[in-house]
Each structure stands twice: as C-alpha cells, then as structure tokens.
C-alpha cells in the first residue's frame, strides 16, 4: 500500500513539475504575436506594427489602416494637382473651396498649433518652401524670400466648418501640410486599428509615430530617437524611450539638407525669416496625439531650446532637444525615462 501511495505521490509531483515548467516557458508567447507590415504612402515608408492572435487578422486590420492613410494622402498631397490641398492653393485669392471634413480638421489643428507657437509652425509656408530644392542644392536669393514672405501667414487661412470650405486670402499663398499631415495620418490609422479590434500596436509614418497598448509581454513599446549626426549607421540611435498610448515625432536638420560654404541649409524653415532655423539640431516631442507631436516638433525646432522646453511644459508635453551647440535639453517629467546609448558627453554631434 505504501509503495502504491508513494508512486501516486511521485507521479503527481512529476505532473506538477512539468506543468509548471511548461507554464513558465510559455510565458513569453501567450497566444498573441507582433506582426509588422510596411507600405510606401505619403511619399515615405509607413510601418504598422500590431499585436494580434493571427496573421490573417493582422493583415486585414493593417491593410484597412494603410487604406486610411492612402485616402488621406490623396487629400493632402501638395504635389498632386488633384488633391484638395492643391485645389485650395490654385484658388488662393480667388474663391473658397469645398473640402472634406479631414482637410478642415487638419487645417484647424494646424492653425491651433500656429497660435500656440506664435507662428513658428505655419502650414502656409508653401511659397517659401518651393524656393528651395535641397537635393539639387538650390537656395533662393534674399530678394525672392523678401517677396514671398508676406504670403506666409496662417491668419490668412480662412476656414468655414459649416460650409466645409477653405479660402486663402492672398493670391500666391500655398498650404503645405507636410509638417503635420503624417502625424495626423498616424492618429487616423491608429483609430482604424482600434475600431477593428486591435488593442496594441504602432503606426509609424516615417518618423512620426503613434503607439497604443502594450507588447504581448506587458511592456511598453521601445522607440529609438535618431542621432542627428550618426556616422555609417553605427550609432544611429541616440536614445530610447518607452511609450504606450503616446505619439512621438522628431524634426531634424539632417533629413533634407545641403552644406554650402560650411553653412547647413535644411528643410526646417522659419516662417518669419524664410531661412533654415539655426538654433537646434533635432527636436523630439512626445504628445498624446500624433498631429500635435508632428507639428510641434517643427515649431519648437524654429523657436529654439530654452523657450521650446517651456512651451512643451506649459502644454503638458514631453520632449528632447539637441541644440546647435550640442547641449541636450529634456523636459523634467521624462528625465530618467529616456535611456541614452552613451553618456551625453560622449556625443559629438557636429
């Protein structure tokens, strides 16, 4: 009897042991997996990451989100004559143009951020933007800038939500939504994913990133912040930050630029001077919504680090700024949450 009882006991112990080991070893794969898919939309690379139980569901939902971004791209495309933005631009100083709710919403958000940044971010920057070609190393004469600057003013962008119309007051004005459209698209694509039952993921429209939910292992998403002066890809990530239900965007003077006579000409133009803003090397903004992070990163880049950090704090957002002198500024709330790859002193950004 005793032998039988001991046998039963050890059998039960062995069963318990294997059950525990199986449970522990399966902890990192609880049935949900991370799926990632890319597409070329809005003239850039869009990567959507979702947590899903099946590949089929991940494919279906990411395709719906890509489709949303594709639809927005058609409305906002600065270069396509068929886009609603181009129609507004063509009718500048002539007549108001009936537009889709998304165009009104985007422009309302853009003008709101223009107000918050004192015009440092301005969606009507188009007349100045078109004077530069950073790939062909073309920059305008001072006279051309002087002539076009009066056409840049978000206060001359008139929206009527009731009639769903937009009007640019002066002939020659041009809306270029490039500084806000990608963040806005990331927000809208995220909404589509959530509506389709996805509880966790990332929408990255180039460097404009929106995160939601947690990874299958219960940790937040780890987002890398690019080193503004990375060499041969070795130190391309300057720092990482853990995010969930937050958006992050970065504006840097290394995206589209050329150097002439030792001076860097880049695409982040000051709407008040028509020249490349010179106070920062890169600005990352963390906000609840992608459109805010996107547009504010541009605006703060123009404003500069000291006032920029104060504006971020006032708005309740977080951010990291590398200024032109390689000084790093971080909002107090995320100090300690940003993990630098090296000590700050080891960076030589110039």
Partner 1 sequence: MSLKELLSSTTSADRFLFLLLLLLSLSGILFVKEVLPGGSTVQIEANGRPAYILPLDKDGTVTVEGPLGKTLIEIKNQRVRVADSPCSNKLCIEQGWVKSGTIICLPNRVVIRVGDHDKSTTVDATTG
State the nearest-atom distance from the C-beta of 311 to partner 1, in Å: 19
Closest CA to 52 of 191, 185, 187, 194: 194
Judged by beta carbon, residue 119 or residue 228, the one nearer partner 1 is: 228
Contact 283, 300 (CB under 8 A): yes
Closest CA to 153 of 124, 183, 177: 124
Neighbours of 224 (CB within 10 A): 14
Closest CA to 348 of 238, 224, 239, 225: 238
State the nearest-atom distance from the C-beta of 237 to partner 1, in Å: 6
Q: Which residue has the tokens 């005793």?
A: 2
State the nearest-atom distance from the C-beta of 215 to partner 1, in Å: 8
Phi–psi pair at 109, nearest 5 degrees: -65, -40
Q: Which residue has the tokens 């930050």?
A: 241
Q: Which residues bind partner 1 (CB under 8 A)?
A: 5, 8-9, 12-13, 16-17, 20-21, 24-25, 28, 37-40, 43-45, 47, 49, 135, 202, 204, 207-209, 211, 215, 217, 219, 221-228, 230, 232-234, 236-237, 240, 248-250, 252, 282, 284
Judged by beta carbon, residue 27 or residue 142, the one nearer partner 1 is: 27
State the nearest-atom distance from the C-beta of 162 to partner 1, in Å: 37
How is 86-145 classified by DSSP, letter by letter? HHHHHTTTT--EE--HHHHHHHHHHHHHHHHTTTSS-TT-HHHHTT-BTTTTB---HHHH
State the nearest-atom distance from the C-beta of 84 to partner 1, in Å: 24
Contacts of 340 (CB under 8 A, 6+ apart): 238, 239
State the nearest-atom distance from the C-beta of 52 to partner 1, in Å: 15
Judged by beta carbon, residue 153 or residue 331, the one nearer partner 1 is: 331
Judged by beta carbon, residue 37 or residue 116, the one nearer partner 1 is: 37
**What is the C-alpha to C-alpha distance for residues 269 and 297, in angstroms, rounded to an integer?**
13
State the nearest-atom distance from the C-beta of 255 to partner 1, in Å: 8
Judged by beta carbon, residue 162 or residue 234, the one nearer partner 1 is: 234
State the nearest-atom distance from the C-beta of 257 to partner 1, in Å: 12
Kindly state the DSSP code that residue 276 receives in the 8-state scheme: B
Judged by beta carbon, residue 13 or residue 158, the one nearer partner 1 is: 13
Judged by beta carbon, residue 41 or residue 174, the one nearer partner 1 is: 41
**What is the C-alpha to C-alpha distance for residues 134 and 132, in angstroms, rounded to an integer?**
6
Judged by beta carbon, residue 127 or residue 299, the one nearer partner 1 is: 299
**What is the C-alpha to C-alpha distance for residues 240 and 243, in angstroms, rounded to an integer?**
10
């Amino acid at each position: 009897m005793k032998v039988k009882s001991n046998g039963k006991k050890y059998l039960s112990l062995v069963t318990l042991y294997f059950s525990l080991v199986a449970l522990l070893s399966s902890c990192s794969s609880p049935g949900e997996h991370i799926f990632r898919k890319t597409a070329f939309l809005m003239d850039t690379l869009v990567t959507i990451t979702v947590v899903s139980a099946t590949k089929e569901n991940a494919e279906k939902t990411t395709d719906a989100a890509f489709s949303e971004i594709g639809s927005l791209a058609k409305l906002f495309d600065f270069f396509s004559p068929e886009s609603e933005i181009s129609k507004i631009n063509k009718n500048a100083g002539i007549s108001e143009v009936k537009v889709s709710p998304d165009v009104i919403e985007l422009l309302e958000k853009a003008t709101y951020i223009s107000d918050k940044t004192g015009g440092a971010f301005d969606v009507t920057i188009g007349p100045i933007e078109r004077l530069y070609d950073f790939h062909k190393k073309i920059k305008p004469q001072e006279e051309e800038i002087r002539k076009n600057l009066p056409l840049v003013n978000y206060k001359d962008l008139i929206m009527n939500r009731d009639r769903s119309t937009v009007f640019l007051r002066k002939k020659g004005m041009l809306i270029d939504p490039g500084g806000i459209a990608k963040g806005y698209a990331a927000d809208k694509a995220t909404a589509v994913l959530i509506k389709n039952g996805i509880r966790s993921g990332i929408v990255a429209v180039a460097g404009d990133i929106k995160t939601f939910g947690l990874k299958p292992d219960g940790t937040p998403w780890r987002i890398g912040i690019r080193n503004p002066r990375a060499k041969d890809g070795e130190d391309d990530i300057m720092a990482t930050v853990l995010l969930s239900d937050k958006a992050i965007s970065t504006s840097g003077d290394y995206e589209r630029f050329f150097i002439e006579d030792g001076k860097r000409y880049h695409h982040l133009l000051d709407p008040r001077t028509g020249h490349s803003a010179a106070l920062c090397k890169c600005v990352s903004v963390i906000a609840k919504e992608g459109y805010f992070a996107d547009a504010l990163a541009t605006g703060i880049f123009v404003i500069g680090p000291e006032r920029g950090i104060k504006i971020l704090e006032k708005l309740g957002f977080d951010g990291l700024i590398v200024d032109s002198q390689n000084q790093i500024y971080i909002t107090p709330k995320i100090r300690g949450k940003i993990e630098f790859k090296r000590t700050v002193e080891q960076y030589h950004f110039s």
